[in-house]
Each structure stands twice: as structure tokens, then as C-alpha cells.
A and B are shown apart, each in its own frame.
Chain A
Amino acid sequence: MRVARHSFYEATARRRVDGLLDQNSFREFCGPAARIVSPHLPALGMPVAFDDGVVVGEGTIDGRKVLIAAQEGGFMGGAVGEVHGAKITGLLERAADVKPEAVVLLLDTGGVRLHEANAGLVAMGEIQRAALSARHAGVPVIVAIGGKNGCYGGMSIVARSCDWIIASEEGRLSISGPEVIETVEGIEEFDAQDRALVWRTMGAKHRRLIGEIDALVADDMGAFRSAILNFVGRPRPLDLDALEAEHAMLSRRLERFWDCADGRDVWARLGINDPAAVPALDADSFNGLVGALEGGRS
């Protein structure tokens, strides 16, 4: 046996872009040679990155034109600083103008770069607004999560404001990180070292089962590419009806699961016979399970 050779999780932001787009189709905006770096980090005595930790540009995926941004999780945990944020905002604003078949956001981030304080927070609001503007212009925004940092903080809110979310089972999606919850609520409430618990609470499988993400894939570049392609050119409605339907879903969910103490309780209530076995399922078996649950529901 040999393990898959094209891991999304292992790859840098640049390798992810190269691996997902058609060969040699990528054209980068504001690339590293332009040296548009953080104006804040040098003042704090910290090293900058030539791309401020995010790669943005355009390319094609199976011949279809997309704009793409990839956060580099290795640089400051993928945190969003002023320049980093402006690059993503600019990309999304460009999408509203040039109307590609999709914007793809490869998110790998802990949220705002606290070192840049207000500039980072403002950037988050700008990204949010720009994502909704792109959607309003009819361009679907697709999020993919499968890196070391998951998708936390303000960027998790951005992610949930987009059309589609794809994640591998290594992916996590939540506003507060495990350590934050442990610090605020105490280790009895949430033990951040218990990584199985973290994934049962914030991991992609749990998010998929409760309907917050749309596709779970294996940690494989090809699997991400196919899943993205499936959503290219497919915007979701962005109107009052959609918003009200979302709110109704959230109310139903609260009613149904409010007293569950653990992800496993939620899964059992969803009708899964062996909730303890869920974390160990590979993507195919897991998707089979999701299919069976959805089939049972309809």
C-alpha cells in the first residue's frame, strides 16, 4: 500500500492553486515580486512575506474561468492582515465586474491577524461585503477548507456567507478556536487537547452532517478539484426567501439538538446507528452514510 501522493493538506497555497487549476493557466495578481507586504509587521519586529500570506489570481479549471485566492496557512497561521485582506477583497470586487464562472477561496486561517488590530478587523468586513457583492452579481463563491488551520474567526463567517463549502475531513470550521473556548469556559467544558472532541465539534464531518458544508472529500487534490468543478457556474439564490429559509433551518436545528452534549449525541439523533464509528470512516463510506440519511429524509 502506498498513500495518496497529492495531498491538499500537505501542499502550500501555491501548490494548491497549481494542483487545482488547469496546468499553466494561473495568472497571479500582485505577486511576490511586487513585494506588497504588510506595513505593520516590521514595526513589531516580525518578518513579512512577499505575498502577505495569500495568493490571488485568475485561471481556468477544466477550461472554465475562475478567480482564486489561496491563504498560506504556514505564514502567521493564515491570519488576515490589511494587505492580505485587501487582496481577497479586490479579487471578489473584480469578480463582480468580470463575472467569472466562480470565485474559489482556499481558506486556511485562524481569522484576523491580531498584530494588525483594527486594519485586520476592517479587512474582514470588507471581504464579507465583497463576497456578497460578487454573489449579488451572480458569481458563485466556493470555499474549500482542508489545511492545517481549518477556518476560524471572521473568515468562518465569510465562509458561511458564500454559496458552497467543500472540506476534507481534516478541515474544521468554527468561529472560536478550541483553545479560546477552553480558556473562556474551562477545561471541563471543552478540552482543547482532546483532538477527537475538537473534530467531533468543529470538524468537517460534523459540519457536513448538520448541513453547514456541502461536500466532504478525501484529502486529495483531485477530489477537491472535482468537488469545486461540481459547483462552478452554480450560484445559490441570495434573496429574502433564501435568508428566511436559512433562519427557519437554524431554529429547527436548535429545537432538535439543543440538549446534545457531544457531536455523537447529535449524530445518534440524526439516525446514525453507530455514531462512535463516524470519525474513522473514509470519505467514500461517510458520503454513503450521508446519502442514506438524506434518502431516508426525503
Chain B
Amino acid sequence: MSAAGLPQPRPAGSFADAVARARAAGELLVQPRMGFPTVEQMGAGLRAVHDARARTVGTITLDSYTRVGDHGSARRALQAGEDLNGFPIVAHGGQVTRRMIDDAGTGGFAVQVRHGSPLPLGIVQALVDAGLDATEGGPVSYCLPYSRTPLTEAVDAWARSCELLAEQVPGAHLESFGGCMLGQLCPPSLLVALSVLEGLFFRRHGLHSISLSYAQQTSFPQDVAALAALRRLSGEYLEGADWHVVLYTYMGVFPRSVPGALALLRDSARLAAVTGTERLIVKTPAEAHRIPTVEDNVRALEEAAAAARDAAFTEADLPDDGEADDLYREARDLIEATLELNGDVGRALTAAFARGHLDVPYCLHADNAQRTRSHIDRRGRLQWTSAGRMPVRAAADRGTGAVGAEELLGMLSHVQNTFDRAALEPSAQSSPALRAGHA
């Protein structure tokens, strides 16, 4: 607050501004995952996303050498003309990246850096140097699933990175990746809780523009309930911040057939539209087979935007009576059980994982208690098989039946099989959801 007691106007960054304009227009903002090694390829990709027939923001996804801080290997690969699975922003440097964005003719186009690093300080410095103002991740969501980095180190590194971003870029935007957690089989209440907790962490370390994520799971009605809970909790815990919700198209094993993959993509766009979700990060039908091309991504962005425009709600999409409230309470209990452990949200997070009050099912990180298990119930919803020491109750219908190896394989490919099968059934060809994709 200023001396006069009035809130100081905060400069909106380009990313936050793009979200605000999409919201005002009542349109879903769509975004790819896209990263190429060279300036030419990456610049062309950004331009194509900018020019797509959809309301888009751009993405620069970084390569895995950069993610683990091995910038020397990234540099050598660039010099040798070898392929990398993303854009090595540190090896290229801020000036080169800045010029690339200018040359792509996308001045003013909002671009987010996506990376996956538990120790992101160098990456954040590079994106600040490049004049960018948005990135994503989080101390838990980029530590537990993909690294061996101790959680306390990731918490410290993310605290410093948030502060650097907040100090150097007024209006900077940061998205929590907490709504993903291994991509599949994490019940929604924990995804929602982790997103909100990471949002609180970002807030505590100086960010004012924040997004909370949720990845499409196995049941449309359950996802509707989860997104309602996420929105309600964000309003309660992030009051005063500029926040929005971002949905990820399914992050697990993707359908193999093109019609199946497109139906899943369109379902995610419809889910975003009917829940008032502001932004969607898409997947492409190429997903199950190879790294998507620029054209794959543009097609997916346009497909998703069209599906969101035409989205309709049916009786079958609605959660059960009380389902959204139950999910909200379960997520709130997880948040509260964490926050009460320490006044500092970073320390509270490490304490909660150490005690198993937060415990991601099937996550093998040494700082995860590994006492929880989940399953997909008969109606396709994700449920807790065992809740370990978390303050939630396991599903009653299951008893103590442990999840076996074969069942795990079945659950991992549940969405893939469901959508591939539906796409192959003759009757499915006449359903509106599938017909649109063949136009």
C-alpha cells in the first residue's frame, strides 16, 4: 500500500496482460509445449504459434542439458550441429534470445519459458536477460517427479529464483506446475493442494502474477469438481494477487490413434471452457509417437480453440452432488495440515513431505514418504487406495486391496485405451465430438 493508503498500480507484464485480455474477451488462451535448439527453428516456431488461428501465447521449452545445468554440453551440441530436445537459453544467452524474439516479428507477443529444473536460478537469470517475463515450475513440482535434488535445496533455489524474477521484472508471471505431479494417477485433491501451496510460496517470495495448474485426469466430472475446488481455494488463499488457472491436456500415456488423441485434446478444451479456465496447454496427436513439429502444434492449438468455442455442457459432465465440496475440503485439509507446520511456506512444505502429510503416490523421490497409493475406480475417477499419513480418507469401496503390477499397467493406459477404443467404434464416428476433427 502507498502512503496514501491506496493500492499502487502494478505494471502488468506481457504474459499477465495477454491473460487479462483473453479473459475480457471471454476466449480461452491456448499455448503449446515447444522447444527447438537453434535460433532459426525456435524463432520460426514462435512466429507460427503467433500466427495460428487461435488466441495464443508462445512457449520456449528448454532442453534437458540446460535443465540439469550442464550448459557446456548444450554449447558443444549447438556447435556440432547436433539435435537437442529444446532451446538452450543459457548457452545462447540473453542477447541472442532477445534478438530471436524481435526477429520473429512477434514483438509484444507473450512468451513463457518452460524448463523442468529444480535449481532454476541460471535459467531465470537468462530469461530476465532476454527480456522475457514468464516461466513456470515450483520447488515441489520440479523436484520430486524428475530429480534427485533434495527438496530443501530446491526450496532454497526456488526462493532465490522467485526473488530474482520479482525484483528484476515488474509484472513477472510464474505458473505452478503442481497440478501435474508425474502426469497421471495423482488424485485431484493433492494436485489442487500442491498448486495452491506453490502459489503461496511464489507470493511469499515476491510474485504478484501467478497461475495455478491442473492436469486433465481420468474423469471429466471429477476434473470439473477439481477445477472448481482449485478456483475456490485460489480465491481464498491468494487474495490480492493477480491469479488465473491453467489446464494441461492429459499428461499421461497418450492415445495412439489420431481420432483418439484429437478427442482427448478436444475434451480438455471443453473442460477448460465449461469451467471458466483461462488458459490451456495442449498436446498433439503426434505425442504418442514422436516429438511434435511446429505444424503439429499449430493444428492442436487451432483444434483446441475451436473445441472451446463450441463447448457445451451435458448432464453426464456434472460432478455428483457434493463431489466438488468434498474435493475442496480434502484439498483444503492438505493445505492447512502443511501450513500449520511452519510460518514459512517453504519450510512447511519440506516438513509436510518429511512427515508424510503430503505424499505423492508412486513418486520414488527420497524425500517423498511413499506410503500412498491410488487407483481408478469403476466410474473412472481417481481415488486414494491408501492415504498413508495424509489427512485424507482412502476410498471405502476398495478395502485394503493393494494395487498390483498388472493393475498399474492397466491404470497407466486407461485413458489411452478408453479414447483409442471409442475412436475405433463405428458408432463413435457419428458423435459430434469426433466428427469435428475430420473436417
- Are these two chains actual partners, yes or no? no
Residues of chain B touching chain A, judged by Cβ–Cβ distance below 8 Å, are none
Taking Cβ atoms with an 8 Å cutoff, the residues of A that contact B are none
